[in-house]
Amino acid sequence: MLALAPRSFVASSLVSQLQRTSLFANLPESAVNHFAEKAQVKHAAKGQVLFIQDDEAEWFYLVQSGWVKLFRETLEGAEAVIDVVSATHFFGEHALFTADRYSYSAQVVDKTHLVLMPLSLLRYHLEKTPQMAMNLLRHTAQQRELQSREMEHLAIQTATQRIGCFLLKLCPDTTHGGAQIHLPYDKTLIAARLGMKPETFSRALAKLKSDVNLKINGSTISVASIAALVEYTCNHCSSSFPCDDNS
């Protein structure tokens, strides 16, 4: 859920952008064009709320650039962050299966470019274009897989280990030895994303720093040894590193 978009993503045409996403891959060009015609591009600033839980759902969203927080709130004001999505990722599409209501809220957390497409069009093409149903099915199944890993993490890992896992997903796969990474968004938001409080995040990151030899400078972190981080983190997870390869 943390993969970053290729640099060229935003620069290319809308149709070509769509074709490079999991949902529109290998679709008849006419279908992709149909979506591109009905699409609306929207530019949103930090803090803007795109929709809230239980809203009637009309659109689903593709992120071109930036970051969007997907979350739920309880009556008491506690917030559960479901996901934080970036370029090439979709959200809101699942409202098709929840009586056309969004089941979470979405808020922009950084300057963001979005593509809005009608859910009705998606529904139409799910029926009409079998490849689209297969694409969405594959996509949804993979999301479910990722989610169930996160459930496992919440249930059996410590805060420090969850942070380690988060950092590992930010390391380029090709890297051996060490890596220099950059936190993609607010530490406060990362904390919420990992199911902990900001104070806990701060302390747990400090612990990780001393335990596996990190250098931390604001939101830039250099990992001396990825192997050490893997050992620290992944031994307490059911999957072995790298665990995010959806082949």
Partner DNA sequence: CGAGGGTTTGAAGTGCATCAAATAGTGTGG
Partner DNA sequence: CCACACTATTTGATGCACTTCAAACCCTCG
By the criterion CB under 8 A, which residues form the site for its own copies? Answer: 53, 72-76, 78-80, 82, 94, 96-99, 103-104, 126-127, 130, 133-134, 136-138, 140-145, 147-148, 150-152, 154-156, 195, 235-239, 246-247
Q: Is 68 in the site for DNA (CB under 7 A)?
A: no
Give the one entry of DNA, its own copies, none that residue 33 binds, where binding means its C-beta sits below a cut-off of 5 to 8 angstroms depending on kind. none
Determine the Cα–Cα distance for residues 188 and 247; give it in Å rounded to an integer: 32
**Distance between the two ends of the chain, CA-based, in angstroms?**
15
Q: Is 196 in the site for DNA (CB under 7 A)?
A: yes
Determine the Cα–Cα distance for residues 36 and 16; give it in Å rounded to an integer: 10
Nearer to DNA, 129 or 200 (CB): 200
Q: Which two tokens stand for residue 214?
A: 């990190």
Smallest distance from the beta carbon of 138 to its own copies, in angstroms? 6
To the nearest 10°, report the CA torsion of 228, 231, 234, 237: -150
Q: Is 204 in the site for DNA (CB under 7 A)?
A: yes
Q: Is 186 in the site for DNA (CB under 7 A)?
A: yes
Query: Tokens 């099915």 sit at which residue?
Result: 137
Give the one entry of DNA, its own copies, none that residue 126 binds, where binding means its C-beta sits below a cut-off of 5 to 8 angstroms depending on kind. its own copies
Smallest distance from the beta carbon of 128 to DNA, in angstroms? 44
For 13, 69, 172, 229, 233, the CA distances from 167, given in Å and listed in that order, are: 32, 19, 10, 9, 10
Residues 114-173 close enough to bind DNA by CB under 7 A = 158-160
Report residue 157: phi and psi, to 5°.
Answer: -105, 155
Smallest distance from the beta carbon of 2 to DNA, in angstroms? 17
Classified as helix, coil or strand, 9 is coil
Smallest distance from the beta carbon of 46 to its own copies, in angstroms? 23
Question: Which helix H or strand E contains 19, and what residues bound it?
Answer: helix 14-19
Residue type, 214: L
Determine which residue in the list 107, 200, 213, 225 makes contact with DNA, applying CB under 7 A: 200
Determine which residue in the list 8, 54, 216, 222 makes contact with DNA, applying CB under 7 A: 216
Smallest distance from the beta carbon of 79 to DNA, in angstroms? 11
